Amino acid sequence: MNKLITTVLVSSLLVPFIAKGNANSSSQNYEAVPPKEINYKLDDYRNYLGLWCGGAKENLTFAKNMAIKNVIYLRGMEKFPESKGLRFFISDPEYITYKRCVDFKKIKSYSKAQIDDWREYCAMKDASLPFPDCMATGWFHRFNHREMKPDHPEYGYCTLIPHFQTNKNINRAVSRIMARVNELVKKCPNMKFGGFVWDVPQLDGDLWGQPKGSKRYQQCGMSLWRGVDCVSVPDGVKLDYPTFCEGRAQFYRELRKAAEKVNPDVKLIMDPARMYVQYVEPYQRIGVKVGDPALADYVQMEHGGDEYLLDKKAWASGYLQTENVATACDIYAYSFDIEIRAIGSSASVGAWSVWFGNPMQTNPSLVNVPPRLKLSRSLATWENLNNTPIEKRKWNKANLVYDSPTAHISKDVLWGINPETKKMFFCFLNPNAKIKLPEGCKIEVIRPLDALFSEYFYPRVMPNFKIENGQLSLTERGKMCVGDAYSITFKK
């Protein structure tokens, strides 16, 4: 077995680590340029849990255990002590400003007032047609659209998408969103308002249509139906913005402006699936300049791997800064090589790693996520919060090994230093991996971690491990613990 020597900083001591592989510096030519200096604090807005599922208590418990200080607000969070001191973000806030779901099979159940409101506030593809044929369709209520044929019954139930090509619609949205913000500020005295988060944030909107010749519905823009990026309106109705994209950009500007009255340092966070196609290109199309308030403060890449760091067109735009981007993929829990590539590459250039949406595709709970993924997803962020120098972060893409003084990830083992508690969290993936402990440093206790990474007491943990020649490894009986997560507290 080839051996890799790396180090970890624990209470100002160096902890060498032995694992399979070779972690020479990566020669990757990423377009993302590492920040010149890093000096982060724990409450940095990029230290963020973007899950909009799982439940308030579950998400708050995990956030506390992983030193996370910013969360998407879920109903009831204010009831739990773990919320104290956190910032809350509101996800997809425009959806709280209207009744968004329409069931095309129950059209007769909707009042004339409701239909008139949809026709005015939401995007129409042909205003001359009766409802609902006039409406542009948004996303359908199914996790995986690829499983659905156009005649599938669930294609009759979708979200209608608001348009912001009129100042009237923008003002309505901003007013109602800020009313909700002020309500939560009063309701959550132990939390602070941080800003807003968007899943599928592209200026084209989360519209879904069936292109000619396609067997499936797919994301699209207004041009699919109209040939131009513009909603259809009744004769005599004046639009204030010529395109759907320009209207949505103005909505972002006005919302930021209003929210700054509550929090002058408000942040907009966006999670596109593709960095260039769904974030950069629509802004370029309408001539948005670098620094425009319509742009996000923090952009998270939904697809896995390191492709987003290699996207020349995206990085050439000037819209992106490495210290303000993150990998946020949720679909590679069982393709851990892709996860390693995403985390290793992101950490090596000073980007972040976060959770967004579901913790795994179609899985709404962190409890069901493999321990390796719960730990790996924290590592790039922990590297930044530990202020580990960029030059000490080594990434070998060919061997899928990332290593630094404060973290390690490979196919054999992963570990990281919790930036708040300074405990080492680790997970063996190979029963033969070893951790070399620092000279003169003794383990005070090893604790198993539960499904939300809370430590718990179990009296017979230590027989699963052996310390020999300054190295921590699994005993024969301990090899059954491969895949489980543990924490190490070192004696001071």
What sign does the dihedral 335-391-65-71 (CA atoms) show? negative
Q: What is the Cα 342 distance to its own chain's centre?
A: 13
| Residue 181 three-state SS | helix
The band of 141, judged by pLDDT with boundaries at 50, 70 and 90, is confident
C-alpha span between 343 and 335 (Å, rounded): 13
Strand partners, 20: 3
Above 80 in pLDDT, residue 360?
Answer: no
pLDDT value at position 194? 99
Residue 26 confidence class, pLDDT cut points 50, 70, 90: very low
Query: What CA–CA distance (Å, rounded) separates 300 from 325?
Result: 6
Q: Which tens digits make up the pLDDT trace of 27-69?
A: 468 999 999 999 999 999 999 999 988 899 999 999 999 999 9
Kindly report which listed range (157-166, 210-219, 316-325, 347-356) carries the lowest average pLDDT score: 210-219
**pLDDT tens-digit readout, 221-278:** 999 999 999 999 999 999 999 999 999 999 999 999 999 999 999 999 999 999 999 9
Higher pLDDT, 442 or 150: 442
Residue 9 has pLDDT above 50, yes or no: no
Can you give the pLDDT at residue 437?
A: 72
447 conformational bin, left if phi > 0, alpha if psi -120 to 50, beta if neither: beta
Which pLDDT band, with edges at 50, 70 and 90, does 105 fall under?
confident
What pLDDT score was predicted for residue 79? 96
Average pLDDT rounded to a whole number, residues 128-149: 79
Model pLDDT, residue 492: 80
Whole-number Å distance between alpha carbons of 297 and 290:
12
pLDDT-based confidence at residue 128 (cuts at 50, 70, 90): very high
Q: Please tell me the pTM assigned to this model.
A: 0.91
Q: Considering only CA atoms, which of 331, 412, 421 is closest in space to residue 377?
A: 331
pLDDT of residue 142: 61
Q: What is the mean pLDDT of the chain?
A: 90
> Is the peptide bond between 364 and the residue preceding it cis, with omega within 30 degrees of 0?
no
What pLDDT digit, counting tens, does each position of 471-487 carry?
889 999 999 999 999 99
Rounded alpha-carbon distances, angstroms, from residue 384 to 6, 65, 98, 109, 359? 18, 17, 39, 53, 22
* Cα separation, 370 vs 418, whole angstroms: 19
Flag whether pLDDT at 19 surpasses 50.
no
